[in-house]
Amino acid sequence: MPRGVVPRQPARTGHQDRVARALSPTKPVPISAGRKKDARVGGGTPKSKPKVTGRGNGAAGRSGYDPLAPERIAEILRRLDRLYPDVTCALTHSSAWELLVATILSAQSTDVNVNRVTPELFRKYPTVEAFAALTPEQLEPDVRSTGFFRNKSKSVVGAAKKVVAEFGGQIPDDMEKLLTLPGVARKTANVVLGSWFKKAEGVVVDTHVHRISRRLELTTQDDPQKIEQDLMRVIPREKWILFSHQIIWHGRRLCIARKPKCAECPLENLCHAGDKTWSTVEMHKNAKA
């Protein structure tokens, strides 16, 4: 490398300072461009405000930028496919019932933590009927390490009793029926329907999907149900199941909650998240986890 040429580095603040605005996502900007006051694309003065013309997404519409443009969504999906071609649910299970239990236990916990507990749990209580015969108090010691164990025990035992009493011991492959089970909301129902029954009834919105959908400006919502509705509008149905798995893996590997690894992220030049740790494109302050 010639003397005096320094490779681009992320700013120490975690944000790349003074990145030029309104940049084409396909055109990375050398850091030196941001150092000159008048190097801003569009020639605006430092005080001039960008014109907002888009879909009311806060970040949307600046200089024609539309975070929900079909070609942008398609490119995000293409890159996710390349990054995570065959990802599946990380919760250990061998039946719809086991997946349901593992998903209930995974709330406010990690998959690794749940996978430490469930093999022994399913050895001890091998069928849904075995769980239905328990009281929540009897189950508590077995699931204590996953956190919120009293509520989780109540949900698992309550769900088992209902599955045995009303569904003949079989987990229903139907959203409406699943939602009648104690402790089962849309996230759990979507996991079971998508991963076990291969039915795309919705998009799983867990903490990773919540965070990354906002960072990628696929939604501005904060409520999981509204986020799911937004994702169902912009992601093609045949991608709903895989998309959730891919985003969950992306959230574990690169787009972590604190200090996402943006310099290593193949989505970087499509992502304008306000809390990026590295950026070659304009960052949108509203696009945050």
Residues noted as catalytic: 187, 206
Q: What is the dihedral sign for C-alpha 143, 144, 149, 150?
A: positive
Residues 140-199, interacting with ligand SF4 (CB under 6 A): none
**67-106 footprint of ligand SF4 as x/- string (CB under 6 A):** ----------------------------------------
Q: Shortest distance, CB of residue 218 to ligand SF4, whole angstroms?
A: 11
Task: List residues bridging with 273 in a β-sheet.
Answer: 284
Q: Shortest distance, CB of residue 260 to ligand SF4, whole angstroms?
A: 4
Size of the site for ligand SF4 (CB under 6 A): 13
Residues 116-135, interacting with ligand SF4 (CB under 6 A): none
CA neighbor of 91 nearest in space, from 253, 248, 201, 258: 248
255 near ligand SF4 (CB under 6 A): yes
| Residue 132: partners with Cβ closer than 8 Å, 6 or more residues away | 157, 160, 161, 163, 164, 165
Q: Which is nearer to ligand SF4, 84 or 122 (CB)?
A: 84
Select from 67-75, 109-117, 221-229, 256-264 the region that touches ligand SF4 (CB under 6 A): 256-264
Q: Which is nearer to ligand SF4, 231 or 254 (CB)?
A: 254
23 near ligand SF4 (CB under 6 A): no
Q: What is the CA radius of gyration of the chain?
A: 23
208 near ligand SF4 (CB under 6 A): no
Nearest-angstrom CA–CA distance, 275 and 92: 33
Q: Shortest distance, CB of residue 259 to ligand SF4, whole angstroms?
A: 9
**Which residue in 72, 152, 186, 276 binds ligand SF4 (CB under 6 A)?**
276
CA neighbor of 91 nearest in space, from 108, 80, 83, 103: 103
**Which residue in 21, 215, 245, 284 binds ligand SF4 (CB under 6 A)?**
215
Q: Which is nearer to ligand SF4, 248 or 271 (CB)?
A: 271
260 near ligand SF4 (CB under 6 A): yes
Phi (first) and psi of residue 129, to 5 degrees? -65, -35
Q: Which is nearer to ligand SF4, 181 or 267 (CB)?
A: 267
Give contact residues for ligand SF4 (rule: CB under 6 A): 215-216, 254-255, 260-262, 265, 267-268, 271, 273, 276
